[in-house]
Amino acid sequence: MTRLGKALALCASGHQDQTDKGGVTYALHPIRLVFRQIAKGRGESHQIVAALHDYFEDCKEHANGSDLSFLTPAEKYALECLTHKNGEDYLTQYMPRVLTSPLAMDIKEDDLIDNSDGNRMPNRELTEKDLKRWEKYRRALEMIRVARLQSN
């Protein structure tokens, strides 16, 4: 099996019983991110990290025994950066870590855009909680954009 195949298999098995806020199979979210990487002409590392970007955060029981030997050090680091830890403030602790990895920043940007798509929740009314979450995502996107400008 290819490295991307292994990542997709872990993604599918880890998220198999999960649904998103719109009631859709959750594994479609990371798979959409994989397709975004392909559409942008990004390589295998981007595609692998996109497939697994929520795996360690949302599939802890499944992830503990997973064979991750197929991951490169850069992929492992990006996934570590992308894993939001319990009790960690999103904007002051989590996002600064994401900004330390260009690979993680690329995936997080697409993740935030996908998570902010109101079409993912067509069967329910938006709540104040949704709007607050989207504002947090907007601020995180701004942090990524500023970090990119500063690095150029």
CATH at 95: 1.10.3210.10
Average pLDDT over residues 49-59: 94
Q: If you average pLDDT over every residue of the chain, what do you get? A: 92
Q: What is the pLDDT of residues 92-101, one digit of tens each?
A: 999 999 999 9
The Cβ-side half-sphere exposure at 93, using a 13 Å CA radius, reads 8
Higher-pLDDT residue of 146 and 129 is: 146
Q: How many residues does the chain have?
A: 152
Instruction: Give the structural domain span for 135.
Output: 3-151
pTM beyond cutoff 0.85: yes
SS3 assignment, position 99: coil
Token output for 35: 């397709």
Residue 16 pLDDT class (50, 70, 90 cuts): very high
Q: What pLDDT, on the 0 to 100 scale, is given for residue 73?
A: 97
Rounded (to 5) percent helix, strand, coil in the chain: 65, 0, 30
Residue 35 pLDDT class (50, 70, 90 cuts): very high
Q: What pLDDT, on the 0 to 100 scale, is given for residue 122?
A: 61
Total domain count, the chain: 1
Token output for 72: 């490169």
